Amino acid sequence: MPMIIKKDWLTIGEVSDLTGVPIHTLRYWETEFNGYFSPLRTSGRQRRYNENAVGRVQEIKTLLKEEKYSIAGARQVLSRKMEIDGAILNNFNTLNESNNAPQLEIPPVTSN
């Protein structure tokens, strides 16, 4: 999701306005989806949301409000997604590190 506001981070109020999710709900989701959704904190403990965190808020909102998952069901979906993403990344890294990485074969150009 591209950021509408061109800043490096947003406050919890700005994220609430942008996503339509109330501030108290964002705080609650932070505890319920701890491994998946955790905004950065300043030294004064204020929440700061980057583009990735805002995207995750939107994803959680979609699962709960549009697809009608329970909190537990949404946690399971996100957990599976993280496992799959991790496996894909691991396979990609392993493939890139091996000498057997597939090479793109481009036929030589011939003139007519």
pLDDT band at 49 (very low <50, low <70, confident <90, very high): very high
Range of the domain at 52: 12-76
Residue 30 resides in a domain: yes
Residue 84 resides in a domain: no
Q: Name the domain count of the chain.
A: 1
pTM, entire model = 0.72
Interval 58-88: pLDDT, tens:
999 999 999 999 999 999 999 998 888 776 7
How far apart CA 16 and CA 24 sit, in angstroms, is 9
Residue 98 resides in a domain: no
Tell me the CATH number at 16: 1.10.1660.10
Residue 66 resides in a domain: yes
DSSP, res 109 = P
pLDDT band at 35 (very low <50, low <70, confident <90, very high): confident
Residue 63 resides in a domain: yes
Residue 72 resides in a domain: yes
Residue 68 resides in a domain: yes
Residue 54 resides in a domain: yes
Alpha-carbon separation of residue 23 from 17, 30, 51, 54, 79 (angstroms): 9, 11, 17, 13, 24
pLDDT over 80 (residue 29): yes
Looking up tokens 């993280």 gives 82
pLDDT over 70 (residue 106): no
